[in-house]
Structure 1
Amino acid sequence: MTRGGPCRIGVDVGGTNTDAAIIEISASETESRGVRASSKTPTTVDVTSGIHTVIEDVLSKSSVDRRDILSVAIGTTHFVNAVVEADARRLSRVAVVRLCGPFTKMLPPFSDFPPELKDIMSGPVFYLDGGLEIDGREINPLNHAQIKETVRSIKAAGIDKVALVGIFSPLDAQGLHEETCKRLMLEEDPSLSVVCSHTIGEIGLLERENATILNASILNLARRTVRAFCEAMKKLHLDCPLFLTQNDGTLTDAATAAEIPIKTFASGPTNSMTGAAYLASLDRGESRARSETQVLVIDVGGTTSDVCALLPSGFPRQAPNFVEVGGVRTAFSMPEVLCVGLGGGSRVIYDQASDSVQVGPESVGHYLTSQALVFGGDVMTTTDIVVASGKADIGDAKRARAISPALVSKARMQIKKILERAVEDMKVSDLPVTLLLVGGGSIVQMDNLEGVAECIIPPHHDSANAVGAAIAKVSGEVDIIEILDGRDEKTVLEDAKQKAIDTAVAHGADRNDTKIVSVDKLPLQYVTNKATRFVVKAIGRLAISGDRFPFTNGASSREESEVYTNGESHPEPEKQYNNKTSESLQSRVKFSAFVDIETYQPHVRNGVWYISPLDLEFMATGTGVLGTGGGGSSYLEYLRCLESLRDSGKKMRVVSTSYMKDSDICVFGSWYGAPSVGNERLASGTEIMDAIDVSVRIGGHSHFEAVIADEIGGGNGLSTFPTSVYYDIPVVDGDLMGRAYPTMEHGTPYVYGEPITPCAMADARGNTSVVMKAESNSRVETMLRTQCVDLGLSIAISATPLTGNVIKQYAIPNTVSQAWFIGRAIHRARKSKSNLVNSIFDTTPGYLLYTGKIIDVKRDVQEGYTMGQCTIVPLSNEEQDLDDPAKNTFDETRCLIIPFQNEFLYAAYADIANPDDSSKHEIICTVPDLISILGQDGEAIGSQDLRYGLRVNVIGMAAHPLWTGDARGLKVGGPEGFGLDMEWKSIGPYQEPPSVIDEFNRDV
């Protein structure tokens, strides 16, 4: 065997097959891109023997000298399967330590875990001193004695896995508090395995903590698996570094993967996408696709196809916000992949009565080679249609030719439509598409696709996943929040870029090849100091060093047997759910999937509505719709409500405004500040009550009988419920806005002259402040914001209490009920596959303003508010022609623009060729009427979550006459209040929302 050029081996371990490819680096400019050989073998139960077989095969096929192999990179789904299957044999209990000072007790760890995983993983929880503010200040110093006592308690519980989570730890590149605490814990007990959250995820404490817990729980499995991989390499006589591929398409060394396995969870789809781009030579600059088209990849298997958009960096577009793994909400990087029911084994069904053809989603799957017509079976598949079309020579072509030409034509048209819809759904811009087809089933693409400039099936397309692993690069990412007030933004950004490059180099990238590939600038809402989040990513090719195996000891036979000798199947999660007791059901986060919504009735007795977990779930969805783009996410407040309902032993209850006496006192308290901060520095849960206590005391009251929300939109629409439990008082079915608005002065009682002061604020440290008097309501707002910045940009506030007669005169009635009815309508429509928008309007009158796709979003910060504009264009005929009973058809050729100041301000038709030309705008709806943008699942999309490509419905609902029937209301809540030079544009008359209490009440 002669020596050749240096090579890399890539391996991808899938659920069905294990693929391998060997690439000669110096031959990457050839037509084959240096791929010397590729191979495929069934994935084995023990995983490693399949890897051994497939690598041995490519080495044999390529005749490459083993001494020329520079590295082996493996992508695997082994770790994520343990979580998805809730396999107690492969998961460990985890103790959670939060460095948070007085904060975060509002929501304890494991709050939104499914019961199966919580029972397996949950260990003791500790809240310790430490953590950082958004600007880097310490919340309070670490307490060494506290840490030592915590270690002793963890040891006494028989646990050795720890998830260590510090507030705003991702903002500190050195992980100051987390790393120091970890060192102190290990000095006390070296047997502990401590996972620091800043190495796992980004801003958003609960999601990052969840990912850290999952990572800690699979550590034993990961370490044994990686040792087994290393042992397989030793048996192959490969003396080179071992890497694993990560979710974002980059590499991590074996030692790091063994400690942070969660970052490898979704590496399979990513490997396919990056391998496709490499095989199609899109990285060589020879194709004009990079600059003149956008690149999409479709990986076609036997049953389904994965569709992903490639960014200019060559990496897949990452999923926004959060992803769920095994039912656990996490926030680590994962590729955004659309899965459609089209593959080489998709069934083709001809309906003679309607003379129509359906392709998929049913498939013969692994039985293609025995059940398809061309293989002697009796099932017509897409492969048969390909052969009948003369596009491939597979099996017995004579059997395919028996299919009538008309049926073949109809089937091809259906395949074309499925692919075109998938392309349209994943587009990231309006540029033409370069489409890369990989995978064994890629032959199903036979016809030109609308909007696709070029369709490429690259060489070795059926091993693109292994090629992607072999050519994977190294990344470094920095996610920081900077205060730009008084600073040069360019200098701040350049410093962040350099940190990203240095991080990539520290991870093993060649500094000479490392470059910045993405910069995201995200202004924070509701702040006045130009606080801005920067997410900067750098990538570079792997710099091979002289390092050898990070793991030098192979797994013992006992260890391997613990991981691999379980041949039995794992119980399906859905089957487990069906046997759960009502007590276990009560511990869930999502209840709509386990309750018959059609027959469910809320518990209302003698004019009092007693709230259930399902009621809260409905209201969480409904308050999102009523948030009109703002108000923050309802999710965290929903979880807080569940915790309060489970743990208090008290009842949550709602009463109508008429239930109150004129002399009764009604309080309110709400969250105030930047949602981005509130999502990281979770509250202690006492802040609202502290603010209420101060406002009540200063207001001279000795009692109060009820609580009301200041805004029903977003999280504040639910914040009344834990407050009501704490004081054991009812929530009033109404609020002071009827929607979400950006300032305190938008409360209806204050618009009509009721006092807003004294107005109190409080934080978790015990700090309280009071605005006793101000020259105007707008001055109250500026004074509150100044204090809010000093206290860390997230506090609670409470204005002076209101009497029952004021509530009855100036509150917007029945809005808690309105949120419930809207939420129930959306959940019912999802289950019945009926029209989501019509379902909402069946209970809450409104108007469909537009159906389309977002093609542009602009954002900026002005005077502390996130300002911007969203542009939506009509759906094409093909996009509307979906076999979906929930579809909407909307006959409009113009685009729609929606400017926003946190909340959506107005909607206007515009010229699709020049949407910024205001002379051609036709205003169709303005504040104070409600404008909401809904995703395809009916969930509201906040202004911070708008992005290109989302298919949406825009709905409008009329505002209460308190906003529209008097000049005072329009002056504050209408266009004039936001500096807009336009008249209020009504979408129709207001109808009071129905009352849950009136509809379901039973007097007993």
Structure 2
Amino acid sequence: MRLGIDVGGTNTDAVVVNDEGKLFSWAKHLTTVDIISGIHTAASEALSEANIQPENITGVFLGTTHVVNALFHPRQLAKTALVRIVKRPSAIKPGLQWPDHLKKYIKKIYQLRSNNHYTGSKNNIDIPVVEQLKDIIADIENEGIQSICIVGSFSPLYESEEVEVQQKIREYFPYIPITMSHEIGSTGFLERENASLLNAILSSVIREAMVSIAELFKQLRLECPYWLTQNDGSLMEIKDAMNYPILTIGSGVTNSLRGAAILSKLQCCIVVDVGGSTIDIGRIINGHPEASVGPSTILNIPVNVRMPRIESLPYGGGSLISMKDGAIDIEDTIASDIEHDGMAWGGECWTLTDSFLKVFPESFNDEKISMNELEQLSAVDCRKVISRVSKEMKDCIARLQLKNEELPVVLVGGGSPLLAEQVFGKYEKIYHPAGYPICNALGACFAPLSAEIDKVFWLNNKTKQEEVAKAKNSIIEELRLKGATKESIRLISVEEFPFDYLKGDVLRIRIKGLGEIK
């Protein structure tokens, strides 16, 4: 038996299923500010309804938007020091293209001189990097730094400099989280630095949440292994999530995509997930969420972290609506408070959900809804809102459709009933499966284990084939150690990128493997 939990911006869902995917119970509750009490309520109710004893649960699978929400609405972010290891001091300021509310967490910038050249040669006179740290260490303590990010300009080729700096700093600050860029991203200095800085800034958010979740599972007497889902829809251990929170940012969406594929039994489709804060649209190819190709962005910040290929609309069922000079304005969401403040529930806030209910009152069933307050809304204005949202969603779907065929569309998420007939009625291949409100938690239960290498190698006296074979074997061994069954392990991508402009044989190897848990 498996317990799946998804913590969204509006609701926290929990499901109990067996290994074959049979659903025994599910629960849905509003997400709480601390997220922990919401998880406790949903998980307890799902276990009680299924009449399952905690010792019969063999794994807990958790997906959460807690980390990405901390970026949108800063909370518990860490004051971070950036340590650059460069050939010469860089005039490029970190945090380019960052929103101001995040940039302010980059508190200090230090620059150390690298002894390496990209050609493989070294300086004639070495100044050990660790010897340059003396003044920096004293300053870090005086500034009250809470997290440290180390970025070497040549770390895809020489990770040793970052490791040396990390070890030296760790001697003085054993408890401060330290991010090394070679563990986060590969080539592309600014993208790698952005991703590493975001990871460092998020370190406090994820650590506090994971400690609380571990304590919660003990209270629920769940003594089984538990995992978080990450950006590519695969599983990661809690300790890895604490070190690499940026890898969990896209987990909520990928859980939804996988859950939609399971519910619809489709191997290839487009998924529209209608939530309280956002509407996310992605594609399932051969049963797996499609990953983005090339650099991706987080809050429009370029990063080189693999993310799901998603078209997101920055509004959902709880988004506030207003009219200004006849134009529609869609503002911040009240997703978690919609049952208190939304007009359909007797509140005073005009939301996206209210607009649909005004025009299509039978589209959404909730015994708490009263249509009386909606009488003050203009049906014409509400139709304008629906028209705009419909057009933008259909434009996203069109960008994701394959040229040679029309993929079916699967609607999921708590707000999907608002759209099923009203917006997509004319589409021939529309699926709105039973279980649509809890597809995220269901998708988390069947996420695979993954392992990935994205690294630059000096071949020296080795052949390309030898280095690739060695990398493949390391992926297989990593999956086996994580708990994947031998027969389920498969390499889903093997990519090689030669560097023609470097002297000597240099090769970037990127390999990804998946496996199912025992």
Give the shorter-chain TM-score range.
0.7 to 0.9
Indicate how the Cα distance of structure 1 residues 371 and 45 shifts in structure 2: closer, same or farther if over 3 A, else same.
Answer: closer
**Cα distance in 2 between the residues matched to 1:410 and 1:94:** 48
Question: Judging changes above 3 Å, is the alpha-carbon distance between structure 1 residues 383 and 517 closer, same or farther for their aligned structure 2 residues?
Answer: farther
Q: Deviations over 1:126-174 (max 9, x none)?
A: 313355737xx365699685404515531343146322223343457xx
Contact 2:112 2:129 in 1 (8 A): no
Cα deviations by residue, 1:939-981 (Å, 9 ceiling, x for unpaired): xxxxxxxxxxxxxxxxxxxxxxxxxxxxxxxxxxxxxxxxxxx
Q: Which string of whole-angstrom CA distances, capped at 9 and with x for unpartnered residues, describes residues 500-549 of structure 1?
A: 43444455433431212234555668789997654322111234xxxxxx
- Name 1:9's counterpart in structure 2: 3
For the 8 Å contact 1:342–1:359, the answer to whether it is kept is: no
Question: For 1:433, what is the secondary structure of its paired residue?
Answer: coil
Question: What is the match of residue 670 of structure 1?
Answer: none
State the SS of the aligned residue for 2:309: coil
Q: Given the alignment, which residue of 44, 52, 72 partners 2:40?
A: 52
Kept after mapping to 2: 8 A contact 1:79/1:218: yes
CA distances 1:22-48 after superposition (whole Å, capped 9, x unpaired):
2211xx2xxxx2222221111112221
Give, in whole Å, the separation in 2 of the partners of 1:486 and 1:186: 35
Hey, what's the Cα distance between the residues in 2 that align with 1:94 and 1:398? Answer: 53
Within-5 A mapping of 1:646-725: none
Residue 165 of structure 1 aligns to which amino acid in structure 2?
V
Q: Is 2:224 aligned against 1:209?
A: no
Counterpart of 1:597 in structure 2 is: none
Q: Report how far residue 232 of structure 1 moved.
A: 0.9
Equivalence for 2:59: 71
Q: 1:485 to 1:129 in 2, by over 3 A?
A: closer
* SS of residue matched to 2:305: coil
1:332 counterpart residue number? 305
Indicate if the aligned counterparts of 1:160 and 1:191 stay in contact, CA closer than 8 A: no
Whichever residue aligns with residue 70 of structure 1, its letter is: T
Greater Cα radius of gyration, structure 1 or 2? 1
Aligned-residue RMSD, C-alpha = 4.5
Tell me which of 94, 97, 113 is aligned to 1:128: 113
| Corresponding residue for residue 406 of structure 2 | 432
Q: 427, 437, 442: which is aligned to 1:467?
A: 442
For structure 2, list consecutive stretches of 5 or more residues without a partner in the other structure. Answer: 375-379
Other structure's SS at 2:228 match: strand
CA contact (8 A) 1:151 1:189 kept: no
In 1, distance between residues paired with 2:501 and 2:82? Answer: 35
- Cα separation, 2, equivalents of 1:94 and 1:120: 9
Counterpart of 1:270 in structure 2 is 254
What is the number of residues matched between the two proteins? Answer: 502
Query: Is 1:501 aligned to 2:501, yes or no?
Result: no
Alignment of 1:448-463 (within 5 A): 454-463=429-438
* Cα shift at 1:60: 0.7
Alignment of 1:567-586 (within 5 A): none
Deviation at 1:215, TM superposition (A): 2.1
For residues 70-89 of structure 1, the aligned pairs below 5 Å read 70-87=58-75
Which of the residues 513, 522, 526 maps onto 2:488?
A: 513
Alpha-carbon distance in 2 for matches of 1:113, 1:61: 46
Letter in 2 for 1:129: S
Note if contact 2:55-2:222 (Cα within 8 Å) is conserved in structure 1.
yes
Report SS of the residue matched to 2:41.
helix
Matched, 1:478 2:472: no
In structure 1, what is the equivalent of residue 140 of structure 2? 157
Partner of 1:308: helix, strand, or coil?
strand
**Contact kept in structure 2, 1:415 and 1:445, CA below 8 Å:** no
Relative distance call for 1:57 and 1:122 in structure 2 (3 A) is same
C-alpha change, 1:71 and 1:128, in structure 2 (3 Å) is farther
Match status 1:147 vs 2:130:
yes
Q: Is contact 1:344-1:383 (8 Å) kept?
A: no
Residue of structure 1 in register with 2:377 after alignment: none
For residues 677-727 of structure 1, what are the alpha-carbon distances to aligned partners after superposition, in whole Å with 9 as ceiling and x for unaligned?
xxxxxxxxxxxxxxxxxxxxxxxxxxxxxxxxxxxxxxxxxxxxxxxxxxx
Shift of 1:342: 7.9
The reply to whether residue 300 of structure 1 matches residue 305 of structure 2 is no
Q: What's the offset of the Cα at 1:297?
A: 0.7
The whole-number CA distance in structure 1 between the counterparts of 2:161 and 2:501 is: 28
Matched, 1:314 2:308: no
Whichever residue aligns with residue 20 of structure 1, its letter is A
Change (3 A) 1:8 1:207: same
**1:374 Cα deviation after fit:** 10
Q: What's the TM-score once normalised by structure 2's chain length?
A: 0.79
SS at match of 1:272: helix
TM-score by length of 1: 0.44
Q: How does 1:984-995 map to 2 (within 5 A)?
A: none
d(CA) in 2 for partners of 1:177, 1:542: 36
CA–CA distance in structure 2, aligned partners of residues 450 and 522 of structure 1: 46
Quote the offset at 1:224 in angstroms: 2.2
Is the contact between residue 298 and residue 435 of structure 1 (CA under 8 Å) also seen in structure 2?
A: yes
| Counterpart mapping for 1:588-987 below 5 A | none
Q: Is the 8 A contact 1:416 1:445 kept in 2?
A: no
TM-aligned CA deviation for residue 428 of structure 1:
4.6
Query: Is the CA contact 1:344–1:382 (under 8 Å) kept in the aligned structure 2?
Result: no
Q: Is the 8 A contact 2:259 2:440 kept in 1?
A: yes
- Closer, same or farther in 2 for the Cα pair 1:323/1:420, shift >3 Å? closer
Q: CA 1:199–1:410 in structure 2 vs 1: closer, same or farther (change >3 Å)?
A: closer
Alignment partner, residue 785 of structure 1: none
CA contact (8 A) 2:105 2:201 kept: no
1:540 and 2:515 correspond: yes
Distance in 1 of aligned mates of 2:509 and 2:32? 43
In structure 1, list runs of 5 or more residues that go unmatched: 1-6, 283-289, 350-357, 401-405, 544-1004
Distance 1:223 1:56 in 2: 23
Change in CA separation of 1:147 and 1:112 when aligned onto 2, cut-off 3 Å: farther
Q: Distance in 2 between matches of 1:478 and 1:122?
A: 31
CA separation in 2, counterparts of 1:259 and 1:165? 16
* TM-superposed deviation, 1:463: 0.8
Q: 1:505 to 1:426 in 2, by over 3 A?
A: same
Q: Write the mapping of 1:351-500 to structure 2, written as runs, cut at 5 A.
A: 367=338, 381-383=355-357, 385-386=359-360, 419-443=393-417, 444-446=419-421, 454-481=429-456, 494-500=469-475
Give SS of 1:332's match.
Answer: coil
- Distance in 1 (alpha carbons) for counterparts of 2:517 and 2:508: 29
Moved more, 139-148 or 308-317: 139-148
Distance 2:334 2:136 in 1: 54
For residue 485 of structure 2, what is the amino acid of its counterpart? D
Question: In 1, Cα distance between the equivalents of 2:483 and 2:223?
Answer: 18
User: Cα–Cα, structure 1 residues 333 and 533, in superposed 2: closer, same or farther, change >3 Å?
Assistant: same
Partner of 1:228: 212
Pair 1:242 & 2:226 matched? yes
User: What CA deviation, in whole Å up to 9, does each residue of 1:415-465 have, x standing for no partner?
Assistant: 875553331022254322022211122222227969966322233211111
Counterparts of 1:192 and 1:361 in 2: how far apart (Å)?
40
SS in 1 for 2:224: coil
Structure 2 distance, partners of 1:67, 1:86, is: 38
Cα deviation code 1:868-917 (max 9, x no counterpart): xxxxxxxxxxxxxxxxxxxxxxxxxxxxxxxxxxxxxxxxxxxxxxxxxx
Q: Which residue of structure 2 aligns with residue 550 of structure 1?
A: none
CA contact (8 A) 1:95 1:162 kept: yes
Q: How has the CA–CA distance of structure 1 residues 43 and 427 changed in structure 2, closer, same or farther, with 3 Å as cutoff?
A: same
